[in-house]
Amino acid sequence: MTSKIYDRPFYYDIAFTWSVLKQIDFFERIFELFVPFKVERIGEPACGTGRLLLALARRGYRVMGYDVNPRVVEYAKRRITEAGLADRAEVKVADMRSVVFNEKFGAAFNLINSLGYLHSDEEIVTHFRCTGDALQTGGVYVVQLSCAWGKPPEEDLSSWTFERNGVRVKTTWTVEHEDRERKLSHQRCRMEIEDNGRELVLDEPHVLRLWLYEDLRRLARESGRLFLTAIYDEKFAEVPLDAELTGELGNLYFVFGGPLGLSKTSNGAILLPAGGPDGRGTPGGSN
Protein backbone atom coordinates (compact mmCIF):
# COMPACT_ATOMS: atom_id res chain seq x y z
CA MET A 1 0.00 0.00 0.00
CA THR A 2 1.57 3.29 -1.14
CA SER A 3 0.52 6.36 0.81
CA LYS A 4 2.10 9.72 1.59
CA ILE A 5 0.73 9.47 5.12
CA TYR A 6 1.20 5.79 5.96
CA ASP A 7 4.70 5.88 4.44
CA ARG A 8 5.62 8.50 7.08
CA PRO A 9 4.86 6.46 10.21
CA PHE A 10 6.60 8.87 12.60
CA TYR A 11 4.23 11.70 11.66
CA TYR A 12 1.26 9.34 11.48
CA ASP A 13 2.04 8.11 14.99
CA ILE A 14 2.05 11.66 16.35
CA ALA A 15 -1.18 12.52 14.52
CA PHE A 16 -3.02 9.61 16.11
CA THR A 17 -1.38 9.75 19.51
CA TRP A 18 -4.45 10.12 21.72
CA SER A 19 -4.68 7.88 24.77
CA VAL A 20 -6.30 4.47 24.31
CA LEU A 21 -6.54 3.68 28.04
CA LYS A 22 -10.29 4.38 28.33
CA GLN A 23 -10.81 2.31 25.20
CA ILE A 24 -8.99 -0.61 26.77
CA ASP A 25 -11.07 -0.27 29.95
CA PHE A 26 -14.12 -0.54 27.69
CA PHE A 27 -12.72 -3.58 25.89
CA GLU A 28 -12.13 -5.31 29.21
CA ARG A 29 -15.76 -4.65 30.09
CA ILE A 30 -16.69 -6.27 26.75
CA PHE A 31 -14.62 -9.31 27.75
CA GLU A 32 -16.47 -9.59 31.05
CA LEU A 33 -19.86 -9.27 29.37
CA PHE A 34 -19.43 -11.44 26.30
CA VAL A 35 -16.44 -13.78 26.54
CA PRO A 36 -16.92 -16.93 28.66
CA PHE A 37 -13.21 -17.32 29.43
CA LYS A 38 -10.22 -15.17 30.39
CA VAL A 39 -8.88 -13.33 27.35
CA GLU A 40 -5.11 -13.65 27.18
CA ARG A 41 -4.18 -13.29 23.50
CA ILE A 42 -5.46 -10.49 21.24
CA GLY A 43 -5.12 -9.82 17.52
CA GLU A 44 -5.31 -6.49 15.70
CA PRO A 45 -5.79 -6.26 11.93
CA ALA A 46 -4.59 -2.96 10.40
CA CYS A 47 -2.57 -2.23 13.54
CA GLY A 48 -0.73 0.76 12.08
CA THR A 49 2.13 2.00 14.25
CA GLY A 50 1.16 -0.26 17.15
CA ARG A 51 -0.36 2.18 19.65
CA LEU A 52 -3.03 -0.27 20.78
CA LEU A 53 -0.65 -3.24 20.72
CA LEU A 54 1.76 -1.49 23.08
CA ALA A 55 -0.97 -0.43 25.49
CA LEU A 56 -2.50 -3.92 25.57
CA ALA A 57 0.89 -5.55 26.09
CA ARG A 58 1.51 -3.22 29.04
CA ARG A 59 -1.79 -4.48 30.50
CA GLY A 60 -0.41 -7.99 30.41
CA TYR A 61 -1.99 -9.33 27.21
CA ARG A 62 -0.09 -11.20 24.52
CA VAL A 63 -0.79 -9.38 21.27
CA MET A 64 -0.20 -9.84 17.56
CA GLY A 65 -0.90 -7.16 14.98
CA TYR A 66 -0.56 -6.96 11.25
CA ASP A 67 -0.68 -4.25 8.60
CA VAL A 68 -0.32 -4.20 4.83
CA ASN A 69 2.20 -1.34 4.89
CA PRO A 70 5.80 -2.53 5.54
CA ARG A 71 6.94 0.90 6.78
CA VAL A 72 4.40 1.14 9.58
CA VAL A 73 5.13 -2.48 10.50
CA GLU A 74 8.87 -1.75 10.83
CA TYR A 75 8.06 1.33 12.90
CA ALA A 76 5.78 -0.70 15.18
CA LYS A 77 8.43 -3.39 15.59
CA ARG A 78 10.95 -0.77 16.62
CA ARG A 79 8.57 0.75 19.17
CA ILE A 80 7.81 -2.67 20.63
CA THR A 81 11.52 -3.48 20.97
CA GLU A 82 12.34 -0.09 22.50
CA ALA A 83 9.53 -0.57 25.04
CA GLY A 84 10.96 -3.95 26.06
CA LEU A 85 7.75 -5.73 25.06
CA ALA A 86 9.01 -8.04 22.33
CA ASP A 87 8.16 -11.04 24.50
CA ARG A 88 4.48 -9.99 24.61
CA ALA A 89 3.88 -8.23 21.30
CA GLU A 90 4.60 -9.02 17.67
CA VAL A 91 3.67 -7.44 14.37
CA LYS A 92 3.97 -8.55 10.76
CA VAL A 93 3.10 -7.56 7.21
CA ALA A 94 -0.17 -9.13 6.09
CA ASP A 95 -3.32 -8.33 4.12
CA MET A 96 -6.79 -8.26 5.71
CA ARG A 97 -8.14 -10.10 2.67
CA SER A 98 -5.93 -13.15 2.89
CA VAL A 99 -4.14 -13.49 6.23
CA VAL A 100 -4.20 -16.94 7.87
CA PHE A 101 -3.15 -17.57 11.47
CA ASN A 102 -1.73 -20.66 13.11
CA GLU A 103 -2.70 -19.43 16.58
CA LYS A 104 -6.07 -18.51 18.09
CA PHE A 105 -7.10 -15.26 19.78
CA GLY A 106 -9.58 -14.60 22.54
CA ALA A 107 -10.40 -11.24 20.97
CA ALA A 108 -9.54 -9.07 18.00
CA PHE A 109 -9.97 -5.35 17.27
CA ASN A 110 -10.27 -3.32 14.08
CA LEU A 111 -10.52 0.38 14.92
CA ILE A 112 -11.10 3.85 13.35
CA ASN A 113 -12.79 2.40 10.26
CA SER A 114 -9.71 0.56 9.00
CA LEU A 115 -12.09 -2.15 7.77
CA GLY A 116 -13.38 0.45 5.30
CA TYR A 117 -10.31 0.00 3.11
CA LEU A 118 -11.96 -3.22 1.96
CA HIS A 119 -14.51 -2.07 -0.60
CA SER A 120 -16.25 -5.11 -2.02
CA ASP A 121 -18.65 -7.52 -0.34
CA GLU A 122 -16.35 -10.39 -1.30
CA GLU A 123 -13.30 -8.81 0.37
CA ILE A 124 -15.22 -8.08 3.56
CA VAL A 125 -16.74 -11.56 3.80
CA THR A 126 -13.31 -13.13 3.22
CA HIS A 127 -11.84 -10.97 5.99
CA PHE A 128 -14.65 -11.91 8.37
CA ARG A 129 -13.98 -15.58 7.64
CA CYS A 130 -10.23 -15.19 8.22
CA THR A 131 -10.79 -13.37 11.49
CA GLY A 132 -13.58 -15.66 12.67
CA ASP A 133 -11.37 -18.69 12.03
CA ALA A 134 -8.65 -17.08 14.15
CA LEU A 135 -10.90 -16.60 17.20
CA GLN A 136 -11.15 -19.05 20.04
CA THR A 137 -14.59 -20.55 20.55
CA GLY A 138 -16.59 -17.81 22.27
CA GLY A 139 -14.13 -15.03 21.38
CA VAL A 140 -15.15 -11.60 20.09
CA TYR A 141 -14.20 -9.32 17.20
CA VAL A 142 -14.77 -5.61 17.89
CA VAL A 143 -15.02 -3.40 14.80
CA GLN A 144 -15.21 0.39 15.02
CA LEU A 145 -16.74 2.29 12.11
CA SER A 146 -19.30 4.94 11.22
CA CYS A 147 -22.33 4.39 9.01
CA ALA A 148 -23.56 6.55 6.13
CA TRP A 149 -25.23 9.80 7.10
CA GLY A 150 -28.99 9.89 7.26
CA LYS A 151 -28.92 13.54 6.18
CA PRO A 152 -25.44 14.53 4.95
CA PRO A 153 -24.17 17.72 6.62
CA GLU A 154 -23.00 20.72 4.63
CA GLU A 155 -19.48 20.06 5.92
CA ASP A 156 -18.16 16.86 7.49
CA LEU A 157 -14.66 17.29 8.86
CA SER A 158 -12.67 16.69 12.01
CA SER A 159 -9.48 18.51 12.96
CA TRP A 160 -7.04 17.92 15.80
CA THR A 161 -3.42 18.71 16.72
CA PHE A 162 -0.78 16.76 18.64
CA GLU A 163 2.85 17.56 19.41
CA ARG A 164 5.82 15.42 20.43
CA ASN A 165 9.48 16.36 20.89
CA GLY A 166 9.18 19.59 18.96
CA VAL A 167 7.14 18.09 16.12
CA ARG A 168 3.61 19.44 15.70
CA VAL A 169 1.05 17.73 13.46
CA LYS A 170 -2.32 19.24 12.66
CA THR A 171 -4.62 16.69 11.01
CA THR A 172 -7.83 17.46 9.16
CA TRP A 173 -9.98 14.56 7.97
CA THR A 174 -12.83 15.43 5.63
CA VAL A 175 -15.64 13.34 4.15
CA GLU A 176 -16.00 14.89 0.71
CA HIS A 177 -18.68 12.74 -0.91
CA GLU A 178 -20.77 9.65 -0.21
CA ASP A 179 -21.46 7.56 -3.29
CA ARG A 180 -24.58 5.60 -2.33
CA GLU A 181 -24.76 3.73 -5.61
CA ARG A 182 -21.23 2.32 -5.44
CA LYS A 183 -21.20 2.27 -1.62
CA LEU A 184 -17.99 4.29 -1.40
CA SER A 185 -17.05 7.19 0.86
CA HIS A 186 -14.59 9.66 -0.69
CA GLN A 187 -12.50 11.27 2.02
CA ARG A 188 -9.37 13.38 2.36
CA CYS A 189 -6.66 13.53 5.00
CA ARG A 190 -4.41 16.56 5.31
CA MET A 191 -1.49 16.82 7.73
CA GLU A 192 0.23 20.13 8.33
CA ILE A 193 3.56 19.36 9.96
CA GLU A 194 6.04 21.59 11.77
CA ASP A 195 9.16 19.54 12.39
CA ASN A 196 11.67 21.61 14.40
CA GLY A 197 11.59 24.52 11.96
CA ARG A 198 10.81 22.49 8.85
CA GLU A 199 7.30 22.68 7.38
CA LEU A 200 5.65 19.88 5.43
CA VAL A 201 2.13 19.20 4.15
CA LEU A 202 0.82 15.71 3.40
CA ASP A 203 -2.51 15.74 1.59
CA GLU A 204 -4.15 12.74 -0.04
CA PRO A 205 -7.55 11.21 -0.86
CA HIS A 206 -8.85 8.07 0.80
CA VAL A 207 -11.65 5.92 -0.57
CA LEU A 208 -13.45 3.81 2.03
CA ARG A 209 -16.45 1.54 2.10
CA LEU A 210 -19.68 3.45 2.70
CA TRP A 211 -21.25 1.47 5.50
CA LEU A 212 -24.94 0.69 5.70
CA TYR A 213 -25.96 -1.14 8.84
CA GLU A 214 -27.95 -3.74 6.93
CA ASP A 215 -24.89 -4.49 4.76
CA LEU A 216 -22.65 -5.02 7.78
CA ARG A 217 -25.12 -7.46 9.34
CA ARG A 218 -25.61 -9.27 6.03
CA LEU A 219 -21.90 -9.67 5.35
CA ALA A 220 -21.26 -11.03 8.85
CA ARG A 221 -24.04 -13.59 8.28
CA GLU A 222 -22.64 -14.55 4.89
CA SER A 223 -19.22 -15.18 6.41
CA GLY A 224 -20.65 -18.03 8.47
CA ARG A 225 -18.11 -17.17 11.17
CA LEU A 226 -19.35 -14.06 12.99
CA PHE A 227 -22.66 -12.87 14.42
CA LEU A 228 -23.52 -9.46 15.80
CA THR A 229 -23.84 -9.46 19.59
CA ALA A 230 -23.90 -5.80 20.64
CA ILE A 231 -23.28 -2.21 19.56
CA TYR A 232 -21.82 0.68 21.57
CA ASP A 233 -21.46 4.39 20.81
CA GLU A 234 -18.44 6.68 21.17
CA LYS A 235 -19.14 7.14 24.88
CA PHE A 236 -19.33 3.35 25.35
CA ALA A 237 -23.09 3.35 25.91
CA GLU A 238 -24.99 0.39 24.49
CA VAL A 239 -27.06 0.95 21.34
CA PRO A 240 -30.05 -1.35 20.62
CA LEU A 241 -29.44 -3.83 17.83
CA ASP A 242 -32.68 -2.75 16.16
CA ALA A 243 -31.78 0.97 16.21
CA GLU A 244 -31.46 3.02 13.03
CA LEU A 245 -27.73 3.57 12.64
CA THR A 246 -26.47 6.56 10.67
CA GLY A 247 -23.43 8.80 10.55
CA GLU A 248 -25.07 11.16 13.01
CA LEU A 249 -24.15 8.66 15.76
CA GLY A 250 -20.43 8.92 15.02
CA ASN A 251 -18.01 6.01 15.25
CA LEU A 252 -19.70 2.92 16.69
CA TYR A 253 -18.27 -0.27 18.17
CA PHE A 254 -19.78 -3.45 16.73
CA VAL A 255 -19.16 -6.54 18.85
CA PHE A 256 -19.21 -9.76 16.84
CA GLY A 257 -19.25 -13.19 18.44
CA GLY A 258 -16.90 -15.82 17.08
CA PRO A 259 -17.43 -19.21 15.46
CA LEU A 260 -19.62 -22.03 16.77
CA GLY A 261 -19.23 -20.93 20.32
CA LEU A 262 -21.10 -19.73 23.32
CA SER A 263 -21.33 -16.00 23.79
CA LYS A 264 -22.91 -13.91 26.51
CA THR A 265 -25.48 -11.18 26.14
CA SER A 266 -25.02 -7.94 28.09
CA ASN A 267 -27.29 -9.26 30.86
CA GLY A 268 -25.04 -12.30 31.29
CA ALA A 269 -27.20 -14.89 29.52
CA ILE A 270 -25.40 -17.50 27.44
CA LEU A 271 -26.54 -17.84 23.85
CA LEU A 272 -25.74 -19.56 20.57
CA PRO A 273 -25.91 -17.82 17.18
CA ALA A 274 -29.40 -18.03 15.73
CA GLY A 275 -29.77 -20.06 12.57
CA GLY A 276 -27.82 -23.08 13.77
CA PRO A 277 -24.25 -23.90 14.73
CA ASP A 278 -22.74 -22.43 11.55
CA GLY A 279 -23.38 -18.97 13.00
CA ARG A 280 -25.65 -17.83 10.14
CA GLY A 281 -27.92 -15.49 12.01
CA THR A 282 -27.90 -13.21 15.02
CA PRO A 283 -29.04 -13.74 18.59
CA GLY A 284 -32.62 -13.02 19.50
CA GLY A 285 -33.74 -12.59 15.90
CA SER A 286 -32.66 -8.94 15.99
CA ASN A 287 -31.27 -9.22 12.51
Flag whether 60 is in a domain.
Answer: yes
Nearest of 145, 202, 216, 149 to residue 176 by alpha carbon: 149
Tell me the average pLDDT of the chain.
90
Reduced to 3 states, what is the DSSP secondary structure of residue 234? Answer: coil
Q: Domain check: are 47 and 176 in the same one?
A: no
Flag whether 4 is in a domain.
Answer: no
Q: What b/e readout covers 48-83, taking b as 16+ CB neighbours within 10 angstroms?
A: bbbbbbbbbbeeebbbbbbbbbebbbebbbebbeee
Flag whether 152 is in a domain.
Answer: no
Flag whether 151 is in a domain.
Answer: no
Out of 208, 230, 247, a domain closes at: 208
CATH number, domain of 57, equals 3.40.50.150
Q: Domain check: are 102 and 238 in the same one?
A: yes
| Rounded distance between C-alpha atoms, residue 119 and residue 6, angstroms | 19
**Model confidence, pTM:** 0.89
Q: Domain check: are 75 and 117 in the same one?
A: yes
Identify the pLDDT of residue 1.
Answer: 52
Q: Domain check: are 113 and 252 in the same one?
A: yes
Q: Domain check: are 230 and 118 in the same one?
A: yes
What does the pLDDT look like over 193-218, one tens digit per residue?
A: 999 999 999 999 999 999 999 999 99
Average of per-residue pLDDT across 123-143: 97
Phi/psi of residue 155, nearest 5 degrees:
-145, 130
Q: Domain check: are 174 and 221 in the same one?
A: no
Q: Domain check: are 17 and 125 in the same one?
A: yes
Q: Domain check: are 251 and 129 in the same one?
A: yes
Flag whether 42 is in a domain.
Answer: yes
Flag whether 2 is in a domain.
Answer: no
Q: Domain check: are 68 and 141 in the same one?
A: yes
Identify the pLDDT of residue 283.
Answer: 26
Flag whether 215 is in a domain.
Answer: yes
Out of 190, 208, 226, a domain closes at: 208
| Rounded distance between C-alpha atoms, residue 77 and residue 182, angstroms | 37
Q: Domain check: are 20 and 114 in the same one?
A: yes
Flag whether 51 is in a domain.
Answer: yes
Least confident residue range of 48-62, 71-85, 153-167, 251-265: 251-265
| Rounded distance between C-alpha atoms, residue 93 and residue 100, angstroms | 12
CATH number, domain of 194, equals 2.20.130
State what percent of residues in the chain have pLDDT above 70: 89
Q: Domain check: are 82 and 127 in the same one?
A: yes
What does the pLDDT look like over 7-55, one tens digit per residue?
A: 999 999 999 999 999 999 999 999 999 999 999 999 999 999 999 999 9
| Rounded distance between C-alpha atoms, residue 286 and residue 101, angstroms | 31
What does the pLDDT look like over 48-86, one tens digit per residue?
A: 999 999 999 999 999 999 999 999 999 999 999 999 999
Q: Domain check: are 192 and 228 in the same one?
A: no
- HEC profile for 150-167? CCCCCCCEEEEEEEECCE
Range of the domain at 171: 157-208
Domain count along the chain: 2
